[in-house]
Amino acid sequence: MNFLLLSVFMMLVTFIPRILPGFLLDKVRLGPRATKFLNLIPYTAMASLIFPGVLSVDVERIWIGALGAIIAIVLSLFKKIPTAVVVIASVLALVGIYAII
């Protein structure tokens, strides 16, 4: 019984902070800086998940992952290039580098 009670309280503790902003932010007008900050959170979360993978592409040659990340960053600076093209070009560049070395 204690485990069930503990599970219910843990669910409420995580559920309430997630659901309250949805109800409260409908009535509150945020400024442009706060809106921009909130809009950038998914990108920073994604970057923090991808970065360790970039460094562990090849443990003996870390520079290969860094080079792939640099290629992806440079290509992503061009606003007209779709994300799929950036990913495919980065992968093809790294495959070419692996073929050379």
Cα–Cα distance, 16 to 21 (Å, whole number): 9
Share of the chain above pLDDT 90, in %: 15
- Say how many domains are in the chain: 1
Cα–Cα distance, 56 to 44 (Å, whole number): 19
Cα–Cα distance, 56 to 64 (Å, whole number): 10
Average predicted confidence (pLDDT) for the chain = 87
Share of the chain above pLDDT 70, in %: 99
Residue 69 contacts residue 57 (beta carbons within 8 Å): no
Alpha helices in 1-101 (DSSP H): 2-24, 32-55, 62-76, 83-100
Q: Which domain holds residue 6?
A: 2-100
For the chain, give the number of residues. Answer: 101
